[in-house]
A and B are shown apart, each in its own frame.
Chain A
């Protein structure tokens, strides 16, 4: 790896001496340590920082709350982390318009707190704590509510970015309905810091529902879990979330319904009725329900989390392939969680040799890529990432994907190597 002599002087002139600091081990991305961490305080500063990086060819990885820095291949090189932490303001919020414009560095939970005062929310509920809005967009993070409200792409209505050469550009706007120009907000969603630094985002909002209930059914097999999910999905009850929690000792399908006070009992009853054939049904206490909504397990730092996206109707196949592949390799009973009705499943494995985990991922990947899905190492030890690759084989659009990258970042300084196809 090439090491560059990064002079912090220019950066200090832009953002002030207090906001450029030498990195520590905690700033390393998959073991690769940058030279400096820079914290611009405004779009203008961010633009100047990127201009310097662009001119000197410094490799930059953007960072928000840092809660998902483990997603992606280890960077090929890394000179600067550009943190959006200081850009954390709500820029425009008129509750009656149900739209908000924020700086990228605001923490999602802080934003939600302000919005909740007006009984509104950005309908995104990723499990990570401390995530910033920019990070949520860049990693396309989602949570249980995606069943009813979709993912970032369905909620983001405008974006402002700083490109690799310092150019500041926006797309979209602050109205929900808008088809003027290319939808670059979607292009940047999930782009993992490889196209530019996201500095602002605009979202459509949803009203908070006044009443909610969480109903769970204990299931005994993947087939029973699927039947439960299917029954709810085929109904007209319009649940907010349908989740799976399937480990050795706890096997649940959990359904969240929300409504107005006058409508919630009927919804709860209907869901209970639909789930009954699959096992024992009960309504969870608020405390229990809160725990279940977090979709990632509470496994340790060294755990491996594999995300499988598959056609939703293939849930049984996904679960059986995972259980079989794990058992054959002595990996025990992995925890399978996920947004069961949407086709997104997370497999959490604690421990295991790199070679064994590589084999496991390879087998599962082979099956689900062939059937139209994808298998991503959402979180994994660096060694395993290097061996198995994080993203799996790219689709036939990879040539186009590369051309887009080359246009936006011709020198390849943004998050080099982290994304699909080594982008």
Chain B
């Protein structure tokens, strides 16, 4: 289909205000939160309801045009990176909260609704939405669903997938299906919702999402503990978890990270080799008791200082320092490359040592800020993009860190997703049979390989289905895929 005719067809669906086709405007959408990769889409469309999404997808399906759905564009793995000669479907205008049903602890939203709005909507009644990615001020529920977003409190409360109970989705053939029920539990049939959440936009587009909201805990206690180094801080983490305590969050920052955060937002953190932030929540009596045990464990692990948040303001200050960590890197380095690997908790010490060794080997600085409770590391490789070859070197170092984590029984990514960024590493974690089996699911959902093609998997294979007159698939034509 010629571009001008495609624009016309999209304008017929969305009106002129729903279609962006001027090159300069298209540039706004050339990347998501991972700015190393940039592709200018052919066209950006902004639907306002499910019918429009369905028509857009149907048009793409009929014409064989690849497309990518995008929420707020805060993803860190390039999952919402546009595809060349493709359409970018921006969901941010679908931002209504459709239903609040607290008797059944559920809220139904459109995908463009911002994460934090959900908690704000139900806060007065004493409820909240648990998944809290650091981006929650701006990231959308649709994007959270696609990436199965985590957050600092997922140690106790789980991830997006544990809090999404239903979704209306437009499938890649333009049909609509309701996955997971949403009103009642245990819908019989395959858990297609479970497969859909975290599929990084490769299986379809959610147009309405049912979320589970929780009663706010009675008590919340937060402490900050300073240690000589990450090893001693790691001992404290093991002590807490090993003691049968399930904190709402345990976060760790190392010296380099603390320095950057101090320059950026001045939270007044102690001068230390590592800092832990531990938060407990739940019924009052339980939390008090466990909080005392937690402090004791930190003391026994040689904490040089323990601060207890006396009120919400002080707690907010602790978290401000933690949540500013990524952004703060800009104050100590021109550029940084972030990884998201996970290791079994008991391997943390060994892996941190290896990361430090690798940093020395490469002659590069690596800052560590991470979700210590669940072993999810965020090593930040600092570099200067202006210096020839530095970016490549940083990426290579980051890759070596990923491999080290896999060797210790871990995963490529805990919450940022595979996207464009880590697909080349997938064969390190999964066998060809594993990946082919995942592809079976892909082919059931998206037989023409049009829905966010080229993401997540290293060598996209097509599903061998060619309905209608044969034409070479754009992806195949570009040499990106082979039929099997």
Interface of A toward B, CB cutoff 8 Å: 94-99, 119, 140, 142, 150-151, 153-154, 161, 163, 167-171, 173-184, 186-187, 189-191, 195, 206-210, 233-238, 259-260, 262-263, 265-267, 270, 307, 309-313, 342-344, 368, 371-374, 376, 391-392, 394-401, 403-408, 419-421
- Chain B residues, CB < 8 A from A151: 185-186
Does B47 sit at the interface, judged by CB under 8 A? no
* Chain B, 392-419, CB within 8 A of any chain A CB: 409-418
Closest to A230 in B: B103
Assembled-state Cα–Cα distance A363/B141 (Å): 38
Does B429 sit at the interface, judged by CB under 8 A? yes
The answer to whether A407 touches B441, judged by C-beta atoms less than 8 angstroms apart, is yes
The answer to whether A266 touches B440, judged by C-beta atoms less than 8 angstroms apart, is no
The segment from B3-11, B22-30, B343-351 that touches chain A is: B343-351
The answer to whether A404 touches B441, judged by C-beta atoms less than 8 angstroms apart, is yes
Nearest CB of chain B from residue A252's CB, rounded to whole Å:
22
Assembled-state Cα–Cα distance A408/B442 (Å): 11
- Chain B residues, CB < 8 A from A400: 171, 177, 192, 444-445
Does B244 sit at the interface, judged by CB under 8 A? yes
Interface of B toward A, CB cutoff 8 Å: 101, 103-105, 147-148, 150, 154, 158-159, 161-162, 171, 175-179, 181-192, 194-195, 197-199, 215-218, 238, 241-242, 244-246, 282-286, 289-290, 342-346, 371, 374-376, 409-418, 422, 426, 429-431, 433-438, 440-445, 456
The answer to whether A311 touches B184, judged by C-beta atoms less than 8 angstroms apart, is yes
Cβ-defined partner of B283 (8 Å) among A163, A171, A182, A267: A267
- Chain B residues, CB < 8 A from A238: 217, 282-283
Closest 9 CB pairs of A and B: A186-B194, A372-B183, A169-B437, A263-B286, A207-B244, A236-B218, A313-B103, A266-B285, A177-B414
The answer to whether B191 touches A186, judged by C-beta atoms less than 8 angstroms apart, is yes
The answer to whether B195 touches A186, judged by C-beta atoms less than 8 angstroms apart, is yes
Nearest CB of chain A from residue B379's CB, rounded to whole Å:
15
Cβ-defined partner of A190 (8 Å) among B190, B414, B418, B431: B190
- Chain B residues, CB < 8 A from A405: 190
- Chain A residues, CB < 8 A from B411: 173, 175, 177-180
Cβ-defined partner of B184 (8 Å) among A99, A208, A310: A310
| A207-B290 in contact given A175-B414, A184-B441, A344-B186 (Cβ < 8 Å) | no
| A376-B184 in contact given A183-B195, A396-B177 (Cβ < 8 Å) | no
- Chain A residues, CB < 8 A from B438: 169, 171, 181-182, 184
- Chain A residues, CB < 8 A from B161: 153, 183, 186
The answer to whether A163 touches B186, judged by C-beta atoms less than 8 angstroms apart, is no
Nearest CB of chain A from residue B277's CB, rounded to whole Å:
17
- Chain A residues, CB < 8 A from B437: 161, 163, 167, 169, 171, 184
Cβ-defined partner of A180 (8 Å) among B162, B178, B187, B412: B412
- Chain B residues, CB < 8 A from A170: 430-431, 434
The answer to whether B415 touches A179, judged by C-beta atoms less than 8 angstroms apart, is yes
- Chain B residues, CB < 8 A from A210: 244
Q: Which of A186, A265, A394 has the most CB of B within 10 A?
A: A186
Assembled-state Cα–Cα distance A142/B283 (Å): 25
Assembled-state Cα–Cα distance A27/B345 (Å): 43
- Chain B residues, CB < 8 A from A420: 188-189
Closest to B106 in A: A311
- Chain B residues, CB < 8 A from A313: 101, 103-104
Assembled-state Cα–Cα distance A327/B409 (Å): 58
- Chain A residues, CB < 8 A from B176: 396
- Chain A residues, CB < 8 A from B431: 169-170
Assembled-state Cα–Cα distance A113/B191 (Å): 29
Assembled-state Cα–Cα distance A421/B182 (Å): 20
- A–B complex contacts, Cβ < 8 Å, 7 sampled: A181-B435, A182-B195, A189-B194, A267-B285, A368-B184, A403-B445, A408-B440
| A177-B178 in contact given A167-B433, A167-B437 (Cβ < 8 Å) | no
The answer to whether A260 touches B289, judged by C-beta atoms less than 8 angstroms apart, is yes
Q: Which of A391, A397, A399 has the most CB of B within 10 A?
A: A397
